[in-house]
Structure 1
Amino acid sequence: MPSISTRAGDVSYSNRGSGPPIILLHATLHTSHDFDSIIPQLSLRHQVIAVDWPWHGASSHPKDLHPTAPLFADVLEDIVNSLNLPPAVFIGNSVGGFASARLAITHPEKVKGLVLVNSGGFVPWTFFLRTLTRPLGIPWVNKLITPSMVWKYMLPQNDVDKAISEEVSALAKTAEGSKIAASIWASFLSPEHDLRSQAKDVKAPTLVVWGKNDPVNPLNVGVATQKSIEGSRLEVLDTGHVVFASKPDEFLEIVVPFIDECFGKNRA
């Protein structure tokens, strides 16, 4: 895999196809391979770039930094600047959705469209939700909870998302994996992770796709996300957190026409 130098070390990515660009951004403890089921079709008419976040997959694991959602958003800025692409459609899952949305706010000229999949950044942080989230920012607590929580939020429906669940759960059981996950979870409670007051600045066409059975990012968060972003549309599928791995065909049926609209194309 090629790599890009960023403020959080070298970031690896895959690059398939040609045409208007699509950038794929995965969730915490996951990798770019989450998108393997949808890349072949997307790359028929597009350049498809699937990124491994720092501390994930084939990317570097810097020792002098801690992974956070805002840092990943910074890294995404480095990626798009280094690749020097025309405006792209970003498909972001979870923390990947947060990074995509923040880029649309800070660098709207880089973003042709957003597909936010069970995304962070627009969560109404009630006292109850903060109380539930805060322990997951502690590595030893995260190590106890996350390995089993992965199966609950994934709700695997096929061999692909079962394999994803196994891989992520195994990583979450390790000291390194629990530290990565805890650091990112702790960052969700930071003011920098709350984009609601800036949602009015998201001008790119936005499609919110939600797996309605996700207990980590439940459907009410998807509704709040859609309501926060003016002109956005919400589509709900019968899946867990990683919609495109669980129901790739249904996901593509919704997303491909949206991508075509963003790039001003008519489907053949």
Structure 2
Amino acid sequence: MIYLCFLLCTVTVSCSSTSPKNPLETEEEPSDYFESSFGKIAYYTKGKGPKLILLHAAGHDHRDFDAILPALISKYQVISLDWPGHGKSEWSSSEEISAVFFPTLLREFLEKKAPEGSILMGNSIGGYASLKLALEQPNLVKGLILVDTGGMNELDISSKAFIKLKSNIWFTSMIWNFFPKFYTKIENVHTNQMLDRIKKAKLEPKAVETNASLWKSFLDENYNLRNFVSQISQPTLIVWGKNDPVIYPKFGRDLHDKISDSEFELLDTGHIPFAEDPERFLQILFGFLSKRNL
């Protein structure tokens, strides 16, 4: 995962850094809302063709994929979700928000909106939900694109210590703006807008609490799929940023070794490859989808 001392050094440096001014970004309304067991979920539908579901990382929203969306909708019906407590989606469950509930929410959504099966593209926590669903409901998953995915826990002492710190509201609040800068290694218009959105998200009620609770859930034994992923049979593309300081590329290689029908690609990026290097990401993605007839 991440070494705490390295992070804190980076945070100190980040405090003095500046970014170019970004173009104004318009905020679109959801295509519709889905009433899940955990709350009302906003989703966005564009394009026509086979269904491709986009699932973002914790603390982010569906707009992370904006850099690649125009290319995707030329060939697919793309459905982007905001996870509960993110974007325009709600968390109304009496349960504390946890990543381990997200696969159930995703199953509920796909059973209603895409029962014939979809391609799932998940980044970080979105990758975990995709993996879990592919294991539990393989009929809903035609293919997997896993990008710097969670769910492959192999935590050392420093990783556990950081997760425990990040599970505290005060610590998550303190590093809110700096942590995404730390794991995003390429600066462009897309990543700058992404970082701006994250900064603004802190103003939303319960945003910090939601993020801290999600990090706490990363220690849940149900978040660790390492011993089960070898059962996945769907064609799988695994893409990783080789400079990701949060979830190291070795976890991607481990995943590739365990999933027999998988391909592994490294990009010269951080944790969000499709925003950091969209052209190369699309080249890899469309090559895989074409070869697998997805």
Q: TM-score range by the shorter chain?
A: over 0.9
Instruction: Give me the whole-angstrom Cα distance separating, in 1, the residues matched to 2:93 and 2:153.
Output: 30
Instruction: Give me the whole-angstrom Cα distance separating, in 2, the residues matched to 1:177 and 1:141.
Output: 13
One-letter amino acid of the counterpart of residue 119, structure 1: T
**Could you tell me which residue of structure 2 aligns to residue 186 of structure 1?**
216
- How do 1:183-222 residues align onto structure 2 when only pairs under 5 Å count? 183-222=213-252
- How do 1:19-98 residues align onto structure 2 when only pairs under 5 Å count? 19-62=49-92, 64-98=94-128
Instruction: Give me the whole-angstrom Cα distance separating, in 1, the residues matched to 2:267 and 2:203.
Output: 29
User: 1:125 pairs with 148, 155, 167, which one?
Assistant: 155
Structure 1: segments with no counterpart, 5+ residues: none
**Could you tell me which residue of structure 2 aligns to residue 151 of structure 1?**
181
Give the structure with the larger helix fraction. 1
SS of the residue aligned with 2:261? coil
One-letter amino acid of the counterpart of residue 31, structure 1: D
When structure 1 is superposed on structure 2, of 63-72 and 32-41 the one drifting more is 63-72
Contact residue 37 and residue 93 of structure 2 kept, 8 A? no
- Deviation for aligned residue 1:175: 6.7
Instruction: Give me the whole-angstrom Cα distance separating, in 1, the residues matched to 2:255 and 2:161.
Output: 21
Equivalences, count: 264
Contact residue 92 and residue 98 of structure 1 kept, 8 A? yes
- Deviation for aligned residue 1:203: 0.9
Contact residue 29 and residue 172 of structure 1 kept, 8 A? no
- How do 1:230-245 residues align onto structure 2 when only pairs under 5 Å count? 230-245=260-275
When structure 1 is superposed on structure 2, of 77-86 and 185-194 the one drifting more is 77-86
When structure 1 is superposed on structure 2, of 144-153 and 20-29 the one drifting more is 144-153
SS of the residue aligned with 1:217? coil
RMSD: 1.7
- Deviation for aligned residue 1:173: 7.2
Deviations 1:27-79 (A, max 9, x none): 01111011111111111121110111111111124263322111111110111
Structure 2: segments with no counterpart, 5+ residues: 1-29
Instruction: Give me the whole-angstrom Cα distance separating, in 2, the residues matched to 1:226 and 1:200.
Output: 9
Instruction: Give me the whole-angstrom Cα distance separating, in 1, the residues matched to 2:97 and 2:202.
Output: 15
| TM-score of the aligned structures, taking structure 2 as reference length | 0.85
| Structure 1 position 107 matched with structure 2 position 137 | yes
Instruction: Give me the whole-angstrom Cα distance separating, in 2, the residues matched to 1:62 and 1:260.
Output: 40
Contact residue 118 and residue 217 of structure 1 kept, 8 A? yes
**Could you tell me which residue of structure 1 aligns to residue 12 of structure 2?**
none
Q: Which runs of 4+ in 1 moved over 4 A?
A: 172-175
Change (3 A) 1:177 1:155: farther
User: 2:47 pairs with 17, 29, 47, which one?
Assistant: 17
Change (3 A) 1:207 1:180: same
- Deviation for aligned residue 1:174: 6.7
- Deviation for aligned residue 1:172: 4.4
Q: Which has the larger radius of gyration?
A: 2
